[in-house]
Amino acid sequence: MRDDFDPTAGAGFSEPVLRALSAFVDGELPGAERQQLANRLAVDRCAANAVAHYCAQRSALRALFADLAAQASL
């Protein structure tokens, strides 16, 4: 994952859509809204790429902080 990569740059996503994509990744959307966005991701490659990037970012951050927590407990 490149630090300077922004999957949403040039995609024309509005602020509410960006918030919804982030909430989707974090599991914060209500069921109906989550399903609606999942349907969009099935046909919108740009949105799906953004979600994949956000998932990779989330995993990397969790791994980083897990390592830091493990080092702190030594």
**pLDDT score of 5:** 62
User: Residue 6 above 90 pLDDT?
Assistant: no
- Examine residue 47 and state whether it is found in any structural domain, yes or no: yes
Amino acid, single-letter form, for residue 4: D
Which tokens go with 26?
């974090």
**What is the residue range of 37's domain?**
15-72
Query: Does residue 49 lie in a domain region?
Result: yes
Tell me the C-alpha distance between 14 and 47, whole Å: 12
Is residue 2 predicted with pLDDT exceeding 90? no
The answer as to whether 3 is a domain residue is no
Residue with tokens 């989330």: 58
What's the confidence (pLDDT) of residue 72?
79
Classify residue 20: in a domain, yes or no.
yes
Count of domains for the chain: 1
What are the pLDDT digits (tens) for 12-71? 899 999 999 999 999 999 999 999 999 999 999 999 999 999 999 999 999 988 877 777
Report how far residue 72's alpha carbon sits from residue 66's, in angstroms, rounded to the nearest whole number.
10
Query: Token pair for residue 71?
Result: 């080092």
Helix ranges restricted to H, 6-44: 15-25, 31-43
Tell me whether residue 2 is in a domain. Answer: no
Average pLDDT over residues 8-14: 77
- Does a structural domain hold residue 36? yes
